């Protein structure tokens, strides 16, 4: 198989336990180039754990992870990021005391490989600031550039979080409940920002808001108690009985 | 054979001192999330109290409760001010505050007790040696082992097996919640600190019999106790016991085998431990991502 | 668990000139004037004392990089400084005491010890880092203390060749108060500028990021060990440069220069002067050594005084005396303005 034909991300037979607690068993999913895959499941299903394994914060007990055909199962997190695999965290993880611009610039410099510069790095600093400002302009947050992140509204903080990831110019972006705690309008705006700013992006989106997931994702995977019980188009998932049961009555059909 | 048995007992008695001192530190760290570097001062205070008491002719066994009370009283006052203001602060701020206080106490004690080495007069009943496989071993050290083990066991029992330990730990997790149960959390914290300081005092009085009392002993003991607690995994009971044993045995046997490099070897053992296990022997599992 | 190093040293990496009213040139002129005053009024002894303040202040400055920006509170920092001091003292006996050579030896030693320290402490944080750096430091101290043939053991080393500066025209001996003071001044200034450029450069920002949120930094593609190692190397280089001049001020270097209490003293100085402010290193070193030298001539209780000053700083001015006094004055001015 040539590298081009390989899926953007392939997860094969991944399993993980914490002590006696089996959190993931035999999970296999692939993410096509340019695809948006929704990942849903009740609390504690193992969604975040799957992200942690894909991004290298945890090592799986079994199975492998491949990025564009390359095995990265045991690579360090920073290596994966430099290969274009970027994530956000369930809890906002921007640096609260640094300015919005500085937050984005940290990412931009990491991406350009100038994150460790010391003497004579003035140019890199300016370039990263410009890249940050450009993203902020396109997300209509330019006038917030100087503010510390802690001074923004919660909705804006979550957008900054996503912008920081986009400043890494990822090829694969994993979003862990980016819309949690946002109003519907804010949530939709955030997704809009990702869609317009992320070019050629393959995305996995975890969200509990099924409207959003079914609205924007090409396919949806359902995780329950660490098992992948379905992975199909939104319409098929809405009709899927196991998926319905996992959400305990919250009828998936109604959500859309 | 007898030689090694005696050396092992030596190591055990030293480990017991390390354990008792470490436990004092460990208890406040574990239960109150407070780093108290004045613990070495409590130890030295206890040591001086022990030396003077044993020389005074009063009943010898009272020396230990008296050292407990003296150091506990110091702990009680310090808890009122300024420790209380620092419970919610970062470990760094706690380290700075309590280290600064220990510098002050070190100088005050040098002022009060003088700069010379005061050795303790071991009471009649504990003087002399017993023979273990034909090798002499000081009775006083056996006393340290027995007394220390009893004390450590009592402490473990209270913390791990009674409602009191559970209440204190609940205080750290959610103070407000414990207060809604009608318990006065301030008093609970005061009690823990007094017990911890008292433990430091008792360890000092016990230790004075082999280490004597002198300016600088506070820092030496503090450093060893800190190493024990941190290498054990920050205030887990089991970890503190294991690492006290490890350090005690490493220090004793490196003195036997490589006397010139004994400290280097013992320190290297502890360093290797922390390099291999960066969160100590018994790491508390916390979910990070 | 609360981390050992947040809560202090929130640092503005912006140059001070952007924040305050005085233009840069005026400040430089003022500073130069202030630096020149001792040359007019101070005697040889005081100038040597000032040189010591500046040299130790430089070492404290290098510690500020780790503590104030990386949240790495090291109790083994004296190894970088004292190790370089020994290396320079030993090298001087065979190579002669050319100041450039001494600085090179010191910087190399400082960086080598930082590399050693870095490899060992790499994976630890917070209290674990504190204790592991302490242990490494004490191992070095044991070696220095017992290796009599090379280090002089407990007695240390004394009597070095005269420190000299070779220019194109002449060889200038740096053996009097004036010359030592000027050399220390140049060292301190260069170190300050280097440290300032470090914290404003990408690497400095990244270091700050690791202090705040390690996970986030790895998620941004940064290698935490690499950032830490670079910070340690920069810090080691600066501490090493300071250490290289240290033996020549008092013509002596002893094992206390690598002992953990030296590291603790540097932390005390740093906190008194202000963690994360860079300039505070010199203020703290001046206050500490001032108390040590001048109070001890009145009473034996100078450590009590140092301890009290330190504890009071921690309790009421956790950002250091300069920031604390500034805030107090600001408040009073505010109050006056309002009434
Ligand atoms: N590091 C860890 N140590 C122990 N248990 C863990 C760890 N990480 C996750 N778990 C457990 O694994 C299970 C799955 O957690 P995970 O965070 O992956 O769920 P999730 O699907 O993301 O849930 P949510 O929707 O609440 O975010 C939970 O029971 C959690 O407590
Ligand atoms: Mg989750």
- B127-144 per-position pLDDT tens digit: 888 888 888 899 899 999
**pLDDT confidence tier of residue C28, bands split at 50, 70 and 90:** confident
> Relative to the alpha carbon of A20, which ligand is closest?
1
The pLDDT of residue B178: 81
Give the percent of chain C with pLDDT over 90: 68
Phi, psi of A18 (to 5 degrees): -110, 110
d(CA C186, CA C54): 9
Per DSSP (E only), the strands in A116-188 are 172-176
> Per the CB < 8 Å rule, is C218 touching A57?
yes
C212 Cβ under 8 Å from any chain A Cβ: yes
Residue C103 in any domain: the answer is yes
The answer to whether the beta carbons of residues C294 and B119 sit under 8 Å apart is no
C215 Cβ under 8 Å from any chain A Cβ: yes
Could you tell me which residues come within 8 angstroms of residue A25 by beta carbon, excluding any fewer than 6 positions away? A15, A226, A227
The pLDDT of residue A249: 55
Within 8 A of C208 by CB-CB distance, chain A residues are 98
d(CA A187, CA A193): 10
Could you tell me which residues come within 8 angstroms of residue C166 by beta carbon, excluding any fewer than 6 positions away? C98, C100
> Per the CB < 8 Å rule, is C2 touching B90?
yes
The pLDDT of residue C233: 97
| Region A1-84+218-256: CATH code | 3.40.50.300
Pairing of strands A227-232, A219-224: antiparallel
Residue A208 CA: which ligand 1 atom is closest?
25
C30 Cβ under 8 Å from any chain B Cβ: no
The shortest C-alpha distance from A84 to chain C (Å) reads: 9
The pLDDT of residue A197: 86
Six token digits for residue A113 = 């490989």
What's the gap in Å between A197 CA and the centre of ligand 1? 30
What's the gap in Å between A43 CA and the centre of ligand 2? 7
Nearest CA in chain B to A88: B289
| Each residue's pLDDT tens digit, C264-318 | 999 999 999 999 999 999 999 999 999 999 998 898 899 999 999 999 999 999 8
Instruction: Look at the domain B2-276 and name its fold.
Output: ABC transporter involved in vitamin B12 uptake, BtuC (1.10.3470)
Q: What average pLDDT does the structure give for chain C?
A: 89
Residue C19 in any domain: the answer is no
Residue B285 CA: which ligand 1 atom is closest?
3
The answer to whether the beta carbons of residues B225 and B25 sit under 8 Å apart is yes
The pLDDT of residue B109: 96
Among B287, B288, B289, say which to mutate for ligand 1: greatest number of ligand atoms within 8 Å of CB: B287
Within 8 A of A57 by CB-CB distance, chain C residues are 215, 218
**Neighbors of chain A by Cβ distance (3+ pairs < 8 Å):** B, C
Residue A42 CA: which ligand 1 atom is closest?
25
The pLDDT of residue A195: 87
> Per the CB < 8 Å rule, is C216 touching A89?
yes
Question: Residue C176 sits in which domain range?
Answer: 42-258
> Per the CB < 8 Å rule, is B90 touching C4?
yes
Residue C9 DSSP one-character state: -
The shortest C-alpha distance from A48 to chain B (Å) reads: 8
The pLDDT of residue A140: 87
> Per the CB < 8 Å rule, is B111 touching C301?
yes
Query: Does residue A4 surpass a pLDDT of 80?
Result: no
Rounded mean pLDDT of C118-137? Answer: 92
> Per the CB < 8 Å rule, is C3 touching B90?
yes
Within 8 A of C213 by CB-CB distance, chain A residues are 93, 95
Per DSSP (E only), the strands in chain B are 129-132, 135-138
The pLDDT of residue C31: 85
Nearest-10 Cα torsion for B53, B55, B56, B60:
60
Task: Name which residue sits closest to atom 13 of ligand 1, judged by CA.
Answer: A44
Pairing of strands A202-206, A36-40: parallel
The shortest C-alpha distance from B260 to chain C (Å) reads: 8
d(CA B246, CA B254): 12
Rounded mean pLDDT of A199-226? Answer: 90
Q: How many CB pairs under 8 A join A and B?
A: 6
Within 8 A of C128 by CB-CB distance, chain B residues are 230, 234, 274, 278-280
Query: Does residue C250 surpass a pLDDT of 70?
Result: yes
Per-residue 3-state assignment (H helix, E strand, C coil) for C97-163: CEHHHHHHHHHHHHHHHHHHHHHHHCCCCHHHHHHHHHHHHHHHHHHHHHCHHHHCHHHCEECCCCC
Q: What average pLDDT does the structure give for chain A?
A: 88
Rounded mean pLDDT of A124-146? Answer: 91
| Each residue's pLDDT tens digit, C2-21 | 333 443 334 444 444 445 56
What's the gap in Å between A91 CA and the centre of ligand 2? 9
Query: Does residue A251 surpass a pLDDT of 60?
Result: no
H-run or E-run covering A39 = strand A36-40
Give the residue ranges of chain B where pLDDT is below 50: none
A124 Cβ under 8 Å from any chain C Cβ: yes
**pLDDT confidence tier of residue C168, bands split at 50, 70 and 90:** confident
Pick from C120, C300, C315: which is nearest to B97 by CB?
A: C315
Cis upstream peptide for B82 (omega within 30°): yes
**Domain spans, chain A:** 1-84+218-256
Residue C57 in any domain: the answer is yes
Total structural domains within chain C: 1
- For tokens 């070492």, the residue is C59
The pLDDT of residue C1: 35
Q: Give the predicted TM-score (pTM) of the model.
A: 0.90
The pLDDT of residue C265: 96
Six token digits for residue B216 = 């600088």
* Most confident of the following: A34-38, A181-185, C121-125: A34-38
| Each residue's pLDDT tens digit, A147-165 | 999 999 988 999 999 999 9
Residue C83 in any domain: the answer is yes
Closest CA to C322 of C290, C282, C294, C291: C282
H-run or E-run covering C334 = helix C321-338
Task: Name which residue sits closest to atom 16 of ligand 1, judged by CA.
Answer: A46
The pLDDT of residue C15: 44
Cβ of A46 closer than 6 Å to ligand 1, yes or no, is yes
Task: Name which residue sits closest to atom 1 of ligand 1, judged by CA.
Answer: B287
H-run or E-run covering A63 = strand A62-67
Task: Name which residue sits closest to atom 31 of ligand 1, judged by CA.
Answer: A44
> Per the CB < 8 Å rule, is C230 touching A116?
yes
Number of Cβ atoms within 10 Å of the Cβ of C71: 26
**Neighbors of chain C by Cβ distance (3+ pairs < 8 Å):** A, B
C197 Cβ under 8 Å from any chain A Cβ: yes
d(CA C321, CA C304): 18
Q: Which residues surround ligand 2, an ion (CB under 5 A)?
A: A 48, 90
Residue C252 β-bridge partners? C158
User: Which range (A45-59, B167-181, B212-226, C142-156) has the least confidence?
Assistant: B167-181
Residue C125 in any domain: the answer is yes
The answer to whether the beta carbons of residues C274 and C320 sit under 8 Å apart is yes
> Per the CB < 8 Å rule, is C131 touching B230?
yes
What's the gap in Å between A206 CA and the centre of ligand 2? 8
The answer to whether the beta carbons of residues B238 and B244 sit under 8 Å apart is no
């Amino acid at each position: 198989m040539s590298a081009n034909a390989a899926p953007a991300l392939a997860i094969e037979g991944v399993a993980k336990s914490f002590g006696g607690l089996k959190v993931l068993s035999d999970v296999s999913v692939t993410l096509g180039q340019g695809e948006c895959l929704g990942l849903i499941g009740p609390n504690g299903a193992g969604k975040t754990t799957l992200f942690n394994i894909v991004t290298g914060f945890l090592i799986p007990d079994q199975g492998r992870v491949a990025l564009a055909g390359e095995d990265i199962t045991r690579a360090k997190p920073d290596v994966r990021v430099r290969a274009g695999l970027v994530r956000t965290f369930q809890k906002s993880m921007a640096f609260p005391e640094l300015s919005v611009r500085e937050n984005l610039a940290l990412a931009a410099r990491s991406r350009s490989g100038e994150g460790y510069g010391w003497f004579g790095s003035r140019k890199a600093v300016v370039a990263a600031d410009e890249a940050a400002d450009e993203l902020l302009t396109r997300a209509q947050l330019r006038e917030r550039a100087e503010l510390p992140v802690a001074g923004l509204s919660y909705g804006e903080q979550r957008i900054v979080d996503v912008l920081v990831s986009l400043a890494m110019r990822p090829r694969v972006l994993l979003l862990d409940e980016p819309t949690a705690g946002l109003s519907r309008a804010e949530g939709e705006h955030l997704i809009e920002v990702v869609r317009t700013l992320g070019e050629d992006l393959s995305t996995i989106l975890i969200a509990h808001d099924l409207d959003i997931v079914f609205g924007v994702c090409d396919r949806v995977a359902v995780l329950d108690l660490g098992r992948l019980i379905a992975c199909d188009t939104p319409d098929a998932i809405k009709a899927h009985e196991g998926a319905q049961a996992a959400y305990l009555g919250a009828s998936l059909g109604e959500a859309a | 054979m007898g030689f090694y048995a005696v050396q092992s007992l030596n190591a055990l008695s030293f480990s017991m001192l390390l354990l008792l001192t470490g436990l004092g530190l460990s208890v406040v760290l574990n239960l109150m999330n407070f780093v108290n570097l004045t613990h070495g001062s409590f130890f030295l205070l206890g040591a001086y109290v022990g030396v003077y008491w044993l020389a005074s002719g009063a009943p010898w066994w009272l020396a230990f409760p008296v050292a407990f009370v003296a150091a506990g009283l110091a702990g009680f006052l310090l808890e009122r001010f300024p420790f209380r203001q620092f419970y919610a602060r970062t470990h760094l701020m706690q380290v700075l505050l309590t280290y600064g206080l220990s510098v002050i106490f070190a100088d005050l004690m040098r002022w009060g007790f003088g700069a010379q080495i005061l050795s303790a007069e071991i009471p009649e009943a504990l003087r002399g040696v017993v023979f273990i496989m034909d090798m002499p071993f000081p009775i006083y050290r056996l006393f340290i082992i027995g007394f220390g083990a009893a004390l450590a066991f009592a402490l473990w029992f209270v913390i791990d097996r009674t409602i009191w330990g559970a209440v204190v730990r609940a205080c750290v997790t959610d103070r407000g919640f414990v207060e809604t149960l009608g318990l006065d959390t301030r008093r609970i914290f005061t009690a823990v600190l007094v017990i911890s300081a008292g433990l430091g005092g008792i360890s000092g009085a016990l230790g004075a019999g082999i280490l004597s009392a002198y300016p600088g002993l506070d820092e030496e003991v503090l450093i060893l106790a800190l190493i024990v607690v941190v290498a054990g995994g920050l205030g887990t009971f089991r970890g503190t016991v294991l690492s006290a044993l490890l350090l005690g045995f490493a220090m004793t046997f490196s003195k036997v085998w490589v006397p010139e490099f004994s400290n280097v070897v013992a320190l290297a053992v502890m360093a290797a431990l922390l390099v291999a296990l960066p969160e100590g022997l018994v790491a508390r599992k916390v979910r990070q991502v | 668990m609360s981390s050992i190093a947040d809560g202090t040293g929130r640092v503005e990496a912006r140059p001070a000139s952007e924040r305050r009213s005085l233009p840069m040139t005026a400040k430089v002129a003022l500073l130069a004037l202030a630096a020149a005053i001792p040359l007019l009024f101070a005697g040889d002894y005081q100038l040597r004392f000032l040189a010591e303040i500046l040299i130790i202040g430089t070492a404290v400055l290098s510690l500020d990089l780790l503590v104030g920006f990386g949240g790495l509170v090291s109790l083994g920092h004296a190894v970088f400084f004292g190790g370089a001091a020994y290396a320079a003292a030993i090298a001087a006996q065979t190579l002669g005491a050319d100041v450039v050579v001494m600085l090179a030896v010191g910087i190399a030693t400082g960086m080598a010890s930082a590399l050693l320290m870095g490899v060992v402490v790499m994976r630890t944080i917070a209290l674990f880092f504190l204790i592991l750096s302490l242990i490494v430091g004490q191992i070095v101290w044991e070696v220095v203390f017992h290796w009599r043939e090379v280090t002089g053991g407990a007695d240390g080393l004394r009597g070095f060749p005269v420190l000299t500066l070779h220019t194109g025209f002449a060889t200038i001996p740096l053996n009097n108060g004036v010359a030592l003071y000027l050399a220390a001044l140049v060292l301190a200034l260069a170190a300050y500028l280097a440290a300032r450029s470090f914290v404003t450069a990408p690497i400095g920002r990244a270091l700050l990021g690791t202090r705040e949120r390690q996970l986030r930094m790895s998620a941004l593609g940064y290698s935490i060990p690499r950032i830490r190692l670079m910070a340690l190397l920069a810090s080691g280089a600066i501490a090493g440069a300071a250490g290289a001049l240290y033996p020549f001020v008092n013509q002596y270097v002893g094992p206390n220069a690598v002992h953990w209490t030296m590291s603790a003293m540097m932390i005390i100085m740093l906190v008194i002067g202000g963690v994360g402010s860079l300039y505070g290193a010199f203020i703290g070193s001046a206050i500490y050594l001032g108390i040590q030298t001048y109070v001890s001539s009145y009473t034996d209780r100078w450590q009590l005084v140092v301890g009290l000053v330190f504890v009071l700083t921690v309790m009421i001015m956790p950002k250091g005396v300069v920031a604390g006094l500034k805030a107090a004055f600001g408040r009073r001015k505010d109050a006056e303005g309002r009434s």
